[in-house]
Amino acid sequence: MPPTETRRFPPTATPVPDTPHRAWVQPGDTIGDRYVAVRPLGSGAMGNLWVVRHRLLGTHLALKLLNEGFRSDEAMRARFKREAHAAASVRHPSIVELVDYHIDDDFGPFLVMELLEGESLRDRIDRGGPLGLSETLSWIAPVARALDALHAGGLLHRDVKPANIVRAPAPGGGHVVKLVDFGLAIRRDGRDRVTSKGTFLGTPHYMAPEVATGKPESVASDIYSLAVTAYETLTGRVPYDSDSLVGLMSAKAEAPQSLETPTGILFSLPIQLAFTVALSADPQARPATACELTNALGSM
């Protein structure tokens, strides 16, 4: 299974000790005077998710905290605040909804989002293998629309991958697909960038090749990541793989391998052409919008 961890290159030093805050959340703890911790929901490289209950309204939400070792790291706190601003600045049916952002005296900064109790695309691929074109588009097309809205709002996501796409029950019935985790999101003009020179963040298999060489991220970088995600959803594998970061980025300079499923089914040449364009090593050659990619796939 391809790695899905968001990684920093080069690696940073060990997180600083977290002395100003309590060591960890326990069920029943109250965070920010209004959110009662119910149960852990998940964890990542920089933060942890909890299901919480609003003390007054009784509604259940998802609350994200920085990991203990990062709560006193000013750069991480700045990135966390930026995540809150990014998630709140663009409203879209396929973007996770931010409810609150605050700093707790005991637990440090936290943000609160709508609770999505469903299945990630990562889980879906791992559970059932490659998806057909129609089901793939049912996952990817809503994310493409969300990305285009995000880009129109002046933001880049920078971490599009199966683990950050979630399908959950919709309030009125059916399901909704949403793009989540804005921990790496930045403004397109780069004014809020906090990553130091020579360092890049992301998940290598889904990262555009120009990003790994230190060039600025762009709309084209997000579209590349979406294309890798769509390719993996259709085939069950990423288009490029290697045991090393250098080898992986070198492979990305070439055309993707034949679009063939593990069952031996080959997709049409127009679909392969759509991926060849979207996965081009030249950002200028890629589709101008994310919906151009999904429209190309949907017209086959």
pLDDT score of 263: 60
* SS3 annotation, the chain: CCCCCCEEECCCCCCCCCCCCCCCCCCCCEECCCEEEEEEEEECCCEEEEEEEECCCCCEEEEEEECHHHCCCHHHHHHHHHHHHHHHHCCCCCECCEEEEEEECCCEEEEEEECCCCEEHHHHHHHHCCCCHHHHHHHHHHHHHHHHHHHHCCEECCCCCHHHEEEEECCCCCEEEEECCCCCCEECCCCCCCCCCCCEEECHHHCCHHHHCCCCCCHHHHHHHHHHHHHHHHHCCCCCCCCCHHHHHHHCCCCCCCCECCCCCECCHHHHHHHHHHCCCCHHHCCCCHHHHHHHHHCC
**159 and 107 assigned to the same domain:** no
Active site residues: 159
pLDDT score of 208: 93
**220 and 249 assigned to the same domain:** yes
Q: Read off the CATH number of the domain in which 75 is found.
A: 3.30.200.20
**44 and 168 assigned to the same domain:** no
**81 and 151 assigned to the same domain:** no
pTM listed for this prediction: 0.85
Q: Where a domain ends, among 114, 131, 159?
A: 114
pLDDT score of 270: 84
- Sequential pLDDT tens for the chain (300 residues): 455 444 333 333 233 333 344 447 899 999 999 999 999 998 877 788 999 999 999 999 999 998 877 777 788 888 888 888 888 889 999 999 999 999 998 898 999 999 998 999 999 999 999 999 999 999 999 999 999 999 999 999 999 999 999 999 988 889 999 999 888 888 887 665 555 554 556 788 999 999 888 888 999 999 999 999 999 999 999 988 888 888 888 888 776 767 765 666 667 888 888 999 999 999 999 999 999 999 999 876
pLDDT score of 18: 39
pLDDT score of 53: 98
Q: Where a domain ends, among 65, 87, 114?
A: 114
Q: Read off the CATH number of the domain in which 153 is found.
A: 1.10.510.10
pLDDT score of 199: 53
pLDDT score of 14: 32
**261 and 124 assigned to the same domain:** yes
